[in-house]
Amino acid sequence: MTTSFDETDRKILDLLQQRDRPVGEIAEEVGLSQTPCWRRIRRMEEAGVIRKRVTLVDPKRAGVPMTVFISVTAPRHEMAWLVKFRQMIESIPQIVEAYRLTGTVDYILKVLVPDVAAYDQVYKAMIEKLEFSQINSSISMEELKFTTAVPTNYLL
């Protein structure tokens, strides 16, 4: 079953991604009454377009101002290693994002830590749990753009 979305749905999503606000306020901004607006939000949740609603925490104020990107090259490409890798990244809370890539690097991890010493603990936990062909780390000097907003202009 395919669910289609219209321009009003896109506007609702854009507003929800900007900041938390009451349904009545969203409804007013998109030209709907509250109940139809709420139904549209529920429909997008049920369709999986809206995965969940969360509070964004400022990493610096939460004591983890350092962002480290770790590129990982696997020693071999096999399911058993991948399963262990997934378990490893789930077990280390400082790893906040992980992606499997194309190209010469197999995975990239985003790690939030207070300092280099804490990053070193993450590194040691990783190599204790799993074998890697190569691990390269880059410390972010400055965040130039950060958003959790997903472009909605492709929503069908």
In a domain, 156, yes or no: no
The list of the chain residues with pLDDT below 70 reads: 1-2
In a domain, 154, yes or no: no
pLDDT value, residue 156: 73
Angle between helix 7-18 and 34-46 (nearest 10): 90
pLDDT value, residue 2: 63
In a domain, 152, yes or no: no
Residues 6 or more apart in contact with residue 66 via CB below 8 angstroms: 112, 113, 114, 115, 116, 118, 119, 139, 140
Q: Are 33 and 27 in contact (CB under 8 A)?
A: yes
In a domain, 131, yes or no: yes
Q: Residue 11 sits in which domain range?
A: 7-46
- We report the CATH number of the domain holding residue 99 as 3.30.70.920
Shared-domain flag, residues 35 and 76? no
Count of structural domains within the chain: 2
Shared-domain flag, residues 118 and 89? yes
Shared-domain flag, residues 75 and 129? yes
In a domain, 147, yes or no: no
Could you tell me the CA-to-CA distances from 68 to 17, 49, 95, 98, 108 in Å, in that order? 26, 29, 9, 12, 10
Shared-domain flag, residues 88 and 120? yes
- Which of these, 53, 52, 47, lies nearest to 4 by C-alpha position? 47
pLDDT value, residue 155: 85
Euclidean distance between the first and the last CA atom of the chain, given in angstroms as a whole number: 13
Q: CA torsion angle for 9, 11, 12, 13 (degrees, to 10)? A: 90
pLDDT value, residue 79: 96
In the chain, beta strands by DSSP E: 66-73, 95-100, 107-113, 134-139
pTM: 0.88
- We report the CATH number of the domain holding residue 21 as 1.10.10.10
Shared-domain flag, residues 41 and 72? no
pLDDT value, residue 4: 87
pLDDT value, residue 1: 52
Q: Token digits for 33?
A: 């009454």
